[in-house]
Amino acid sequence: MSRKDVAKLAGVSEATVSRVMNNVGPLKKETREKVMKAAEQLGYELNALAQQLARQKSGNIGVVLPYVPKVHLFSTYYFSEILSGIAEVARRANVDLLMLFQETSNKKDYSRLFRSKKIDSCIILGATDTEQEREALQELEDNHFPFVIINQKFHEKQYAFVDGDHERGSYEAVTHLLDRGSEKIAFLNGPAPYSNSVDRHNGYIRALTDRGISLDARWLYEGNYSRKSGIVAASSLADSIKEGHIDGIFAANDRMAIGVMDGLTNYGLEAGKDYRIIGYDDSDGSRIVSPKLSSVAVPFYDMGVEAARMLLEPSKDQEQLTSRVLPVKLVVRQSS
């Protein structure tokens, strides 16, 4: 008898049979019992060596991080908060963290960590919607390796993820600027391969549409989430602000917003006086810059906690990992 026969009798997929027999991932109790009953009825037994290998555990949870030259990753608010959340859950579960730095130019191969028994599950940060990324994630899925992606969605794929409600956050930020009297609002977004960039763009457009404001293509700018890209954008924004073509700015993260503010001071323009601006993330920098930066608070620590809990504290009646979208909150300060 084969695994296919067991799957047919139990009314489940072959992948589910494999997960039950190898005790991999969260499964509903009734599903497990149904598969085991069918296997017993058919006299199906998994190869003893295969079972032994499948049950081997490394005691590690992997965290994939993007390698960006000359960027102090652990000092950035985004990564430090998420990693702190993951580490807290791992500590409670008595599991170690194994860091993997992935260079964007290299072929992605997350599965090798599972194949080499270095990790039992994986959290992926910095994922982008590219062909290489999709291939690497699909390999994880095909091999039933448990993983969760943070802050990136693939809409046509049911990969488990934890994310903030970025469309809502963007909508609230732009609506606030409109309520304060700004109607010509520039949007400095991040790169399109990030789903949160798409979400924030959608929220921006929806806020304008709800007020009957037509989008002016000259209001759209793209940075790379760095302070430097904000400074670069400031050189183009300055003339538009002075000429009255722009009276508000929404930036997709605080680092870019602070770069814009720094850059515009060189042109004699002050946030909260000559223009209104809102950032995103509610990082430490938003509270110490002058004037203090309005921003959208994202629960990055909680996102790390949720992702780790999904892998390390799965619900007993859960057949597969489910995604989470956490609420965000607009924090109003002097800049808007």
Residue 88 banded pLDDT, cuts 50, 70, 90: very high
Contact 249, 260 (CB under 8 A): yes
Instruction: State yes or no: pLDDT of 47 exceeds 60.
Output: no
Residue 1 banded pLDDT, cuts 50, 70, 90: low
Asked if the structure places residue 333 within a domain, the reply is no
- Do 82 and 26 lie in one domain? The reply is no
Q: What is the CATH number of the domain that holds 122?
A: 3.40.50.2300
pLDDT (tens digit, 9 = 90+) per residue, 177-235? 999 999 999 999 999 999 999 999 999 999 999 999 999 999 999 999 999 999 999 99
Asked if the structure places residue 144 within a domain, the reply is yes
Asked if the structure places residue 36 within a domain, the reply is yes
pLDDT (tens digit, 9 = 90+) per residue, 253-310? 999 999 999 999 999 999 999 999 999 999 999 999 999 999 999 999 999 999 999 9
- Do 156 and 273 lie in one domain? The reply is no
For the chain, what is the mean pLDDT?
87
- Do 313 and 279 lie in one domain? The reply is no
The two tokens of residue 41 are 């009825």
Tally of CB atoms within 10 A around 266: 11
The share of the chain scoring above pLDDT 90, in percent, equals: 57
- Do 68 and 215 lie in one domain? The reply is no
Q: What is the CATH number of the domain that holds 45?
A: 1.10.260.40
Mean pLDDT of 71-84: 79
Residue 49 banded pLDDT, cuts 50, 70, 90: very low
Asked if the structure places residue 197 within a domain, the reply is yes
Contact 330, 176 (CB under 8 A): yes
pLDDT (tens digit, 9 = 90+) per residue, 123-135? 999 888 888 888 8
Q: What is the DSSP string of 129-174?
A: SSHHHHHHHHHHHHTT--EEEES---TTS---EEEE-HHHHHHHHH
Instruction: State yes or no: pLDDT of 48 exceeds 60.
Output: no
The two tokens of residue 143 are 């091999």
Contact 44, 3 (CB under 8 A): yes
Contact 202, 225 (CB under 8 A): no
Asked if the structure places residue 335 within a domain, the reply is no
Asked if the structure places residue 211 within a domain, the reply is yes
Residue keyed to tokens 């430097």: 228
- Do 40 and 143 lie in one domain? The reply is no
Residue (of 149, 154, 256, 250) closest to 205 by Cα position: 250
What is the span of the domain harbouring residue 11?
3-55
pLDDT of residue 227: 93
Q: What is the dihedral of CA 149, 152, 153, 154, to 10 degrees?
A: -90
Asked if the structure places residue 336 within a domain, the reply is no
Residue 61: phi and psi, rounded to 5, are: -110, 130
- Do 77 and 15 lie in one domain? The reply is no
DSSP H helical ranges for 192-325: 195-210, 227-242, 254-265, 284-288, 300-312
Residue (of 234, 155, 221, 215) closest to 190 by Cα position: 221
pTM recorded for the entire structure: 0.80
In the chain, the N- to C-terminal Cα span, in Å, equals 69
- Do 134 and 107 lie in one domain? The reply is yes
- Do 186 and 291 lie in one domain? The reply is yes
- Domain boundary among the residues 55, 70, 86 is at 55
Count: domains in the chain: 3
Asked if the structure places residue 332 within a domain, the reply is no
Residue (of 74, 82, 169) closest to 125 by Cα position: 82
Best mean pLDDT range from 7-21, 155-169, 251-265, 310-324: 251-265
Instruction: State yes or no: pLDDT of 67 exceeds 50.
Output: yes
- Do 238 and 284 lie in one domain? The reply is yes
